Amino acid sequence: MPDGDFELIYRKYYRRVYLFLLKLCGNHELSEDLTQETFYQAFLSIHRFKGRSDVFTFIAAIAKHTYLKYLRKNRNSVCEAYIGELRSDFSDPEYIYEKSVEKMNIRDLVEKLPERYRDVILFRVYAEMTFGQIAEAMGITENSAKVIFFRAKKKLTEDLKNGDYL
């Protein structure tokens, strides 16, 4: 693939990948860094893209892996990022704190889900992919993606009710 083609891909999908990662991590600077790493990894592995799925599906899978790799390496930094976000807006510190804790709890629960559940949730909720795109990315049927999503949502709801994030 000529470099100009990848530059077009970068321009077309940069914002969408950035927003996907921002929803995952909740920090603008970190999202920027992870987006850059995602496109770097995509550039290195674009030769493996066979065109059987949408380009965004391919890049979103790389973004998901980039984010999860970051979490594994920097678990303590994630909490610090939330504290930094709290300091940036003092309109209602208590409300902002509660929302931040809620986001952290949900992210922790999503991270603890079985891999297939976690992947479907990340793609559907955070990347806003269709079930067809999720099926392509994961090598499953569209119906399977829907069933896994339903089961993952049910599990998350139960875990939240039970306080399993504590």
Percent of the chain with pLDDT over 90: 27
Instruction: Report pLDDT for 159.
Output: 83
Q: Do the Cβ atoms of 60 and 41 come closer than 8 Å?
A: no
The two tokens of residue 23 are 């929803």
pLDDT, one tens digit per residue, over 56-114 is: 888 998 998 898 888 878 765 544 444 444 445 555 666 666 666 777 777 778 888 89
Spatial distance between the Cα atoms of 135 and 146, rounded to a whole number of angstroms? 9
Write down the pTM of the prediction.
0.62
When the pLDDT of each residue in the chain is averaged and rounded to a whole number, the result is 81
Q: Which amino acid is at 119?
A: D
Average the pLDDT over 2-7 and give the result.
Answer: 70
Q: Do the Cβ atoms of 105 and 165 come closer than 8 Å?
A: yes
Average the pLDDT over 34-38 and give the result.
Answer: 94
Task: Single out the residue of 102, 28, 47, 38 nearest to residue 69, CA to CA.
Answer: 38
Q: 56 in helix, strand or coil?
A: helix
Return the higher-pLDDT residue of 129 and 102. 129
106 CB burial (10 A radius; 0-12, 13-18, 19+)? middle
Instruction: Report pLDDT for 36.
Output: 94
